[in-house]
Chains A and B, each alone.
Chain A
Amino acid sequence: MFKTIRTLARILFALLVVSVAIGIAGCGPGTPASKTAFDNVLTIGSWGGAYQEAQRKAFFEPFTKETGIKIVETSTPDYGKFYEWQKGGTTSVDVVDVETYFVFQAGRKGALRRLSKDVSADKTLMSGGVNDYGLASCAYADVIAWNSGRHPDWRGLTWADFWNTAQFKGARGLRDLPASTLEAALLAKGVSPSRLYPLDVSSAFAALTDLRKRERIALWSGGSQPIEWLLNGSVELTSAWNGRVYDAQKEGKQLAMTFDGGMLDWLWWVIPVNSLHSAAAERFIEFTLRADRQAALARLIPYGPANQDALKLLDEATLSHLPTSPTILAKLIQRDNNWWAEHDEQVQPQWREWKVGLGK
């Protein structure tokens, strides 16, 4: 009897081993982008949420239809990752959507691939949106947002109001990035926009520490978070990206925003220096900069197109919501990305310390 049981047990054991082996082999599909030799898969990192959905409809799906190149979507990593990729010699993302100051900073440090001139040829792009290492795709604004359903009497709030915790009670939301947040602190303390740069960093941190003593602050890293927080009441006042607020408003949510004191910036496409799919990546970037594609994106989410020809394809209603429209542009402050490109590294350690309460 022992013998039969033993044989059965051995067969079962063998089956288990085989199934485990199949399991290991079957786990193959998730090979990182950089390891595949084929140029028909592109990994693209962006900011998620309504913005990435709009990009999917305006860029990713049409691109795949036209070229047959499949797109794997992921999120824009923290910027420090790029330097790690640069050191390590590989990268897991081929095209990334990033902010201006990072393009300047990383370009200088060699973490980004030089783009060939054909990508931007024949396109009327904003002059400030062309760089050896990246191409601007759209303009967005950092705005102040709140829930008008819960606070119908709050109108036209400014950064000074944001810091006024006595009159405007409730938790605050701020982006987990010193850029734009330090400016907000200084503006709240009465610094005039024309005198903002060079930033008085210690004064800004003092203002932030002062705010955090008086009210809870939540830091967001994903664009949908402040919207979500406003809707479920976790925060009452927050900074946010205008396109996300507009998207929620379109869904019938009672959110309000103000462009006064808001900050304008551009989002750029960059290719990490060690990408193995740079040809496909450049093809993709060229595709997104075409006038019709840019117009398609602007219709889905109100971010100003970089390609000026796209503006001719848009109707009045859409144009009026863009941060680049004259009325709105007049209210916005242009972020000094050269200052940030130079000083971000010094500010980061202070930001990290401030985040855990060690700030001065």
Chain B
Amino acid sequence: MRSVRTAVAIVVAGALAAPAVAVFPLAVSTSRFLDIAGFSGRWFASAAEPFWLKSIELSIVLGIGAATAACVIAVPAAYAAATGGSARTTKCLDGLAVATLVMPVIALAVGYFRMFGESDARVLFLADTTLCFAMPYLSLRMASARLSDAQLQAAELLGATRLGAMFAIWIPNLWRPLALGWVLAFLTSWDETVLSVFVAAPGTTTLARAIWETMQRERDLTAAAINALSAPLLSTLLVVLLGVPSSRGSAR
């Protein structure tokens, strides 16, 4: 019975993950028109061309910048909520954070278009940070709800200021949810295609936009090569930080 369950679980999970796993065989395909007839490094070579390198560079800069900015802004906000800040502000931020997660990004793109027209990477940076904010914020909010107040109270009694306690106790205790929030924020920005396609000017191409445009219009499989290299790293990071939920107590 157990082995049947194991098999079923792995097959179902594999089937659902299959479209993403297809990146590996496609990365070494020989032809632009999707023949898996042989083994070729041409897509890896093509990934080193200026067009792709520029877009990778932009995506990395935007990703790190937006994720870091989102964390820097989210940490104090979540801390304020955790240490007796105004309930109204907390609810407002919670609601806005959830809103950025669930709203269709393209609707936001229409607003951005009216605001900035066809614009450059600085607008993308603003947009990405806004969309990324929810990740560290909600991650910290949920984790701090489970953290006991005892340490903070002790710190207060020992004379620490609120700000000091944030750096000395709160963040170190919650480094894991914070790191998870950062990685999720990075992934959000890394994968952000809609705004990059509709709001950014032609010269500003992020990797996500480059992939969307070339895959649908040209079937250039360079994206497969790039993803074959980046995806294992990003996914592993994500899973390690998230932790596999285990019945023996909380996630690792």
| Direct contact between A and B judged by beta carbons closer than 8 A | yes
B125 touches A27 (CB 8 A): yes
Is A326 an interface residue when CB atoms closer than 8 A count as contact?
Answer: no
Which of A5, A19, A20, A222 has the most chain B CB atoms closer than 10 A to its own CB? A20
User: Per a CB cutoff under 8 Å, which of B69, B118, B168, B203 touches A5?
Assistant: B168
- B168 contacts which of A2, A13, A19, A30 (Cβ < 8 Å)? A2
The answer to whether B122 and A27 touch across the interface, beta carbons within 8 angstroms, is: yes
Contacts of B168 in A (CB 8 A): 2, 5-6, 9
**What bracket does the count of chain A residues touching chain B fall in?**
35 or more
Neighbouring A residues of B149 by C-beta, 8 Å? none
A144 vs B244: C-alpha distance when bound (angstroms): 53
Which residues of B sit under 8 angstroms from A9, Cβ to Cβ? 167-168, 171
Mark A8-52 against chain B: 1 for CB-CB distance below 8 A, else 0: 011001001101100110111111110000000001010011000
**Would B217 and A49 count as touching, CB distance under 8 A?**
yes
Q: Please name all residues of chain B whose beta carbon is closer than 8 Å to the beta carbon of A227 when the two chains form the complex.
A: 33
Asked if A318 lies at the interface with its beta carbon under 8 angstroms from chain B, I say: no
Residues of B within 8 A of A13 (CB): 72
With an 8 Å Cβ cutoff, the count of chain B residues facing the other chain is 37
Cβ–Cβ < 8 Å partners of A17 in chain B: 72
Q: Mark A214-227, 1 if CB is under 8 A from B, else 0.
A: 00000000111101
Q: Is the CB of A31 within 8 A of B33?
A: no
B121 contacts A48, C-beta separation under 8 Å: no
- Which listed residue, B34, B68, B69, B120, touches A30 by the CB 8 Å rule? B120
Nearest Cβ in chain A — how far from B44, in angstroms?
A: 20
Q: Which of A32, A225, A251 is in CB contact (< 8 Å) with B217? A: A225
Nearest chain A CB to B36 CB, angstrom units: 12
Indicate if B61 sits at the interface (CB-CB under 8 A): yes
Most chain A CB within 10 A, of B64, B125, B203, is at B203
Chain A nearest Cβ from B232, distance in angstroms = 25
Nearest CB of A to B147, in Å: 18
Give the interface of A toward B (CB within 8 A): 2, 5-6, 9-10, 13, 16-17, 19-20, 23-24, 26-33, 43, 45, 48-49, 72, 74-75, 88, 90, 92-93, 222-225, 227-228, 231-232, 248, 251, 253
